[in-house]
Amino acid sequence: MFARFLLVACVAFGGAFNAVMAQNAPYPVKSVRLIVSYPPGGPADILARFLASGMSKELGQQVFIDNIGGANGNIGAATAARAAADGYTLFMMTSSHAANMTLYSKPGYDVVRDFAHVTNVASYPLLLVVNPSVPAKSVAELIAFGKAHPGELTFASAGTGGGAHLAGELFKSMAGVDFLHIPYKGTGPALVAVIADQVKLMFAGVSAAMPFVTEGKLRALGISSSTRLKVLPDTPTIAEAGVPGYEITSWLGISAPAGTPAPIIKTLNAAIAKVVESPAFREHLAADGAVPQVTSPAAFTKYVETEVSRWAKVIKASGAKLD
């Protein structure tokens, strides 16, 4: 009996000892997978690859991208949530994943419960652009025209539930004007539709829309961030141009499966901070009109929770569902 007790005690002690050793073991000792839940070539993928290159240098191990697209980012997110919580699987969390908590009745994961959040990385404001045929030279004039001509204005997006769609829905609710939403399969087709005057306006990424604004094919009315961009100093924020309090940005950050040890989260946070604060990375973001945002794990966790609640209100008011 004593021998059996001793054996059980040794096994239990051994398990506890191994757990402690795992917590204190050097990290990382092998390559790290960063899941991006969108196809290659998109904004999230491009940013992830630039970030992964810098992280590889800081961590001393390769950080490689694993693109797992589908279902508006849900398939990749669910895969990441089910991965081992050992720091060797990371996930690029985006504002779309926070919105998916309301857009889908069963997304397959919970962005708050199933992840340990490391840090925000960047935010991307959206540029409100209209076709030149729209007789509005400012946000205030656009609102006035919309109210005077109900049903005439349409707005394009890269798909239902995406940042451009939600930006339009938030604008509608705060400005008290109604636009008809026309979803497209991607930013490119949506911009082409606005340029061709098939749709009147759009909230688009700065880098995607600016060439057409410069060419006079689109007119920029306002930026969705809380402050003006350095690359667009003469373009007012939507808040200052007619919709007080309006602010929306598409954001991206890094998370890990829930239960990932705190020391590993701390190591990752420090490594990512060094990459994001580097001149090369900031130059890369500035070219896309993006703003770097490095936060603590606790702050990013709180931010994600706030975003889930915020978008739940907007989505429920719009009636949008993707089930």
Q: Quick one: 261 and 192 in the same domain?
A: no
Domain boundary among 188, 222, 241: 241
In a shared domain, residues 229 and 131: yes
* pLDDT score, position 19: 42
Does pLDDT of 6 surpass 50? no
User: Do 15 and 162 fall into the same domain?
Assistant: no
pLDDT at 321: 83
The domain boundary, picked from 213, 241, 269, lies at 241
Residue 187 is predicted with a pLDDT of 84
CA trace torsion 47, 52, 54, 58 (10° rounding): 150
Separation between Cα atoms, residue 223 and residue 282, nearest integer Å: 20
Same domain, yes or no, for 119 and 256? yes
Domain count along the chain: 2
The domain spanning residue 138 has which CATH number?
3.40.190.10
- Quote the pTM value: 0.82
Does residue 120 form part of some domain? yes
The answer, yes or no, to whether residue 9 has pLDDT greater than 60, is no
Give the tens place of pLDDT for each residue, 61-91: 999 999 998 888 999 999 999 999 999 999 9
- Percent with pLDDT over 90 in the chain: 69
Cα of first residue to Cα of last residue in the chain, in angstroms, is: 58
* Residues 113, 259 share a domain: yes
Are 194 and 292 in a shared domain? Answer: no
Q: Which of 186, 220, 241 is the last residue of a domain?
A: 241
| 2 is a domain residue | no
User: Tokens 């050793």 identify what position?
Assistant: 21
Residue 13 and residue 119 in one domain: yes
Residue 210 lies in a domain: yes
User: Is there a domain that residue 1 lies in?
Assistant: no
* Joined tokens for residue 125: 């404001």
Residues 89 and 232 in one domain: no
Same structural domain for residues 230 and 288? no
Here the CATH number for the domain that contains residue 115 is 3.40.190.150
Considering the domain boundaries, does residue 323 fall inside one? no
Q: Are residues 47 and 87 in the same domain?
A: yes
- 214: tokens are 């410069």
* Residue 116 and residue 18 in one domain: yes
- Assess if residue 3 is contained within a domain: no
Identify whether 17 is part of a domain: yes
User: Which one-letter DSSP state was computed for residue 65?
Assistant: E
Instruction: Encode pLDDT of 189-236 as tens digits.
Output: 999 999 999 999 999 988 889 899 999 999 999 999 988 888 888 999
Q: What is the pLDDT of residues 234-265, one digit of tens each?
A: 999 999 999 999 999 889 999 999 999 999 99
Q: What is the pLDDT of residue 100?
A: 94
| Gap between the Cα atoms of 85 and 81, Å rounded | 9
Helix 74-81, helix 95-103: angle, nearest 10? 100
Whether 187 is covered by a domain: the verdict is yes
Residues spanned by the domain of 105 = 8-124+250-318
Same domain, 255 and 237: no
